Amino acid sequence: MNPRVRHPEKIHKAPLRSTLERPHWIRVKAPNSAGFHRTKEIVQKNRLRTVCEEAACPNVGECWSHGHATFMILGETCTRGCTFCNVATGKPQEVDLFEPARVANAVADLHLKHVVVTSVDRDDLEDGGARQFVRTIRSIRQKSKETTIEILTPDFLRCAERAVDSVIKAGPDVFNHNLETVPSLYPEVRPGARYFVSLRLLQRVKEVDPHLFTKSGIMVGLGEDRNAVLQVMDDLRAADVDFLTIGQYLQPTPHHHPVRRYVSPEEFRDYASRAYGKGFLMVSSSPLTRSSYHADDDFRSLKEARQLRTVVS
């Protein structure tokens, strides 16, 4: 028996669905294009999971229509119970050693120029799942030499520095780890995580490889205040993070943390302006922004921004 539950009440108390009406700028079209169905077929053929589906991403229709998908490795069951996340929590499966090859096959089938690979949290593993990231990066490199690779990792809570060091040696192009929210909300939003562990992980990446692009993201609308968001920006810049994403939190089910507020597009633009003023190379701040949304275009822009800053300085 492998217990796997989508919303475990033993891990967090289930709040009621927010009564706020979803504004017009949040609504997206239902996916039904030929490109969407082709991407879905390739994902299913290779028996893979995507965060697009597991996390109920609102951009899945647009991204899959263009053949873009964010692959989720290390199974579909997370060992954490974050109150914002739609990924199932429970006892994870054994690590699938053939999974990296299947991810590489899907990347080749989709002709991806840039791929994002993420995972569930695997606190049950001694290395937090770092070796599977290494295997996946290497498999993609062997199959699609020109594809750039972005990884979105968990915090590797008990082995962060060792895990980071091994993953960096595999040669990703972008190292992404999301802070998700402001520190004061961690006990209710990310009860199994620690803000400064995540911040230290991002700092460690730059210590090991100062030239590797780093990226992090937060959600707004969870109950944070503006000053706390600005402080997170300062913390990330102190860790020399290059790229910041800010998006609207959307409550997946009535059992998840409620939406406290829908942040206006004008506020998102103001956050972007503030972030650029603090020195980020790239900022994506909008209601529908997600970590891997337009990741391929953003990576090209990120490289151009670094080159421009080098020339100017």
**Confidence tier at 22 by pLDDT (50, 70, 90):** confident
Q: CA distances (Å), 29 to each of 42, 65, 306, in order?
A: 22, 12, 35
- Report d(CA 262, CA 26) in Å as an integer: 9
Where are the chain's structural domains?
Answer: 29-312
**Confidence tier at 267 by pLDDT (50, 70, 90):** very high
CATH number, domain 29-312, options 3.30.1950.10, 3.20.20.70, 3.90.1150.10, 1.10.150.130 = 3.20.20.70
Instruction: Write down the pLDDT at residue 11.
Output: 42
Q: Give the pLDDT mean for 90-98.
A: 94
Instruction: Write down the pLDDT at residue 143.
Output: 96
pTM: 0.87
Q: Which two tokens stand for residue 125?
A: 């593993």
Beta partners for 88? Answer: 77
125-141 confidence digits (pLDDT tens)? 999 999 999 999 999 99
Higher pLDDT, 12 or 136: 136
- Report d(CA 260, CA 252) in Å as an integer: 14
**Are β-strands 88-90 and 4-5 bridged in parallel, bridged antiparallel, or unpaired?**
antiparallel
273-293 confidence digits (pLDDT tens)? 999 999 999 999 999 988 777
Closest CA to 28 of 247, 257, 302, 283: 247
Beta partners for 71? Answer: 50, 117
Average pLDDT score, the chain: 87
pLDDT > 90: percent of the chain: 64
Q: One-letter amino acid identity for 27?
A: R
- Sign for the pseudo-dihedral over CA of 189, 192, 196, 202: negative
Is the pLDDT at 227 greater than 90, yes or no? yes
